[in-house]
Chains A and B, each alone.
Chain A
Amino acid sequence: MKNSSALSDWVLFLAFAAAVLTMPLWLAPFGANYPDLMQKFAIFGVFAIGFNILFGLTGYLSFGHAAFLGVGSYTAVWSFKLLSMNVLPAIMFSIVVAGVFAFLIGYISLRRSGIYFSILTLAFAQMSYNLAYSVLTPITNGETGLQLSLSDARVLDAMAGITVTRSLPSTNLFGMKMSGMPGFYFCAVVLIVAFFIALRITRSPFGAMLKGIKSNQTRMAYTGLNTRPYLLWAFVISGMFAGLAGAMMAVTDPLAGAERMQWTASGEVVLMTILGGAGTLIGPVLGAALIKYFENIFSSFNERILNRAFEALPDSIQSIVVDTVGLFVGEGWHLTLGLLFMITVIFLPGGIMEGVRRITALFDRDKSGSSSAASNTAAAEHS
């Protein structure tokens, strides 16, 4: 059993890596195969995977994860400004700073559980947002957002003899520009590494401990185990993932704004995880991609595009159809997303992954009725 599980984990991992790296091919029919959106898929995938380590494994619902994302972004941009345009120091510092920040917030918030924990994290995140927005303006540049400028120090770059001309330098990995397709492949590799780490954590004794906390924390405590350090570590790791995601946002686009820390951003990652399937490994990534797809593609559909899509219909019907559909695209993409979320939560409480599981179970039953139960549990375990 142990062997086969390890093997199927490798299969899962390889399939995931292949799917991520081939995004430019299979996303083409959806009109989503342009670098910026694929970068977003990967970045928010990392964010959601990290969030899932806390929420999916321990059941602790943090409503303030965007704060770590924002901290990661600000740290990365400051690293670009002060140290070097190379992305490695930026990512390193972001993870560390976000981790420290998560430790502080986690240490206090984890004294409570359930709704009280959620409210505490929400309060901390909102405080961070307001700090970034107004009080810490010298560090964050407030509403305008922290941006690079020609007069930045860039100490390491200066030491290496790299000087800027009249245009702003771009972020790079030892000379490779981190925008466009190279930027996407970099994000993709980071996502795959993050996925692998999450996979190892989930399968480790530590992960089992976290799942134990989720199923019954009191029982864990009765067995003489102090659960708080485990929770705190899960919280910090999850915060570091968020910091990494924030750093990646700054890497692909060197700008950090306070709105990244707003409570709506924290809510978004909760939606991503639940939509995809909390507690599963792939689910959060799917949810993140779906939400970003809606935000970027659905919101760009305008009347003209709709008219073209429904050209075949007679004029009178066409205008009715366009008007109705128009409500759900363009500015109305939130509406579509809301409906989709409701439908998912009502009919598939386990998110998209539950849908996938049900469909595979259906096919398995067609093939051989007897083994369906076994493969069902196997699928649940592996996905």
Chain B
Amino acid sequence: MSKKPQTSNWSRRDVLKASAASAAITGAPLFFSRNAYGAEFLNNPGDGGTVTLGFNVPQSGAYADEGADELRAYKLAVKHLNGEGDGGMMNTLQPSALTGNGILGKKVEYVTGDTQTKSDAARASAKRMIEKDGVVMVTGGSSSGVAIAVQGLCQDAGIIFMAGLTHSNDTTGKDKKANGFRHFFNAYMSGAALGPVLEKEYGKERRAYHLTADYTWGWTQEESITASTEAIGWTTAEKVKTPVGAGDFSQYITPVLNSGADTLILNHYGKDMINSLTQAIQFGLKDKQVEGKDFQIIVPLYSRLMAQGAGENVKGIFGSTNWHWSLSDAGSQAFVKSFGQEYGFPPSQAAHTCYVQTLLYADACERAGTFEPCQVGAALEGHKFDGMGNGPTEYRAEDHQCFKDVLVVKGKDNPSSQFDLLEVVEVTPRAQVEYAVDHPMFAGGDLGSCNNGA
């Protein structure tokens, strides 16, 4: 250590040279960085032969099953848009501007990302799609928290967001955005559709106990269901919030037994619902009687995937759903057929809404004649269509929410196959689930103005 001059290989001159060089390199990126503001709108595919869509779905976490099915549907939609396969619902969409030759003559490409059912990860993944992969549209999400976070991001960036499975009132209520569009139904609609059926089945005198997933979707669903059950004369015993992805719900279910409630309402989804329902049944809630009434369990938002996970336990349990593969209209049948041929089993409601959203986006681009987000958005606003499995549907211009019929379903007592688990009890007409734009449960938001990122 004592050999002073040798240890330093750097002379003053070297240091000066190095700093000059690094200063030059430092300045370079400012010179090279491309000016994104020159384009007419963000990620304009221009004259290229392809256009890229971003599919941002949960591949891990409590909603991973739904995410996997959503991704299958997206891939199928891309196939159909590019003119491969049998075309599925492209043949039944009315009116349709789809050509089967990509979108606006450009071949559809896609990129995928894992939201991990976390807002941070979902936004990072969506940003990658927007900044690196140059997507013109982001779609997906199987959690309302994530959907709202990504919708906000897309609004800021200037990209269209086609919401996947998101059921919270806030997505098109408090947190609605001009660049975001939702085909899926919402918690209010579930409540409005379930109310009359529950009254008919279980009478006017019941005491409900809520277990609620502790985030935006759970909160709004609890509010909606409470409103509609209290409207038919039920009382509410208790509302308990549970963390998402809790796994073990026994500590929340034990108090239900002694609460005096005779109905358990599970505002849970995905694996959470499978776990909480299974545990509720294991605790013998279904066999219990409270003041002469059979104890009942209700799962307001149902899906076939969850029913499959919960198995036997779903028998006789009521809920609502956006779509079910057993529907007999031409659109549903065409979709079930091509999805079945591709993957060997019927699609879930998550798959359905994602597939439909992709087609609707493509159709809107064709009608607008451009990928420019504001014009595409304008083409979607107030658009009326049919043949997508839900009957006549309208994208309401004021809040970008689709209005259509809602299905009330029940767990089948005698399922004929592992997929045939739910039966449709009632198709609630659109008029019954419709609400005013300024309904208190949806108030406080503003679409804002459309952003094209330029």
Contact = CB atoms under 8 A, between A and B. Distances in A.
The answer to whether A and B come from one shared complex is yes
A11 B149 contact: no
A7 B152 CA distance: 48
B449 A166 contact: yes
A35 B132 CA distance: 8
Nearest to B213: A143
A278 to B, nearest CB: 24
A145 to B, nearest CB: 5
B361 to A, nearest CB: 20
B19, B29, B114, B152: residue with the most chain A Cβ atoms closer than 10 Å: B29
B244 A143 contact: yes
Interface residues of B, number: 57
A304 B75 CA distance: 11
29 contacts: A7-B8, A8-B8, A10-B15, A15-B22, A21-B26, A22-B28, A22-B29, A24-B29, A25-B28, A34-B128, A37-B128, A142-B215, A143-B244, A144-B119, A145-B119, A167-B155, A167-B449, A168-B448, A170-B156, A179-B156, A253-B153, A255-B123, A259-B119, A260-B120, A295-B124, A299-B114, A302-B112, A330-B112, A377-B1
Contact of B33 (A24, A147, A150, A371): A24
Interface in A123-160: 133-134, 142-145, 147, 150-151
A35 B131 contact: yes
Interface residues of A, number: 56
A304 B53 CA distance: 14
A36 B127 contact: yes
A143 B152 CA distance: 16
A255 B214 contact: no
Contacts of B4: 1, 4
Contacts of B243: 133-134, 143
Contact of A11 (B10, B128, B152): B10
B59 interface: yes
A145 B149 contact: yes
Contact of A24 (B8, B32, B447, B448): B32
B18 interface: yes
Interface in A1-31: 1, 3-4, 7-8, 10-11, 14-15, 17-18, 21-25, 31
Contacts of A300: 111-113, 125, 128
B446 interface: yes
Contacts of A147: 148-149, 152, 175
B33 A40 contact: no
Interface in B112-155: 112-114, 118-120, 123-125, 127-128, 131-132, 145, 148-149, 152-153, 155
Contacts of A143: 145, 214-216, 243-244
Given A15-B22, A36-B131, A179-B156, A253 B123 contact: yes
B406 to A, nearest CB: 24
A203 B175 CA distance: 50
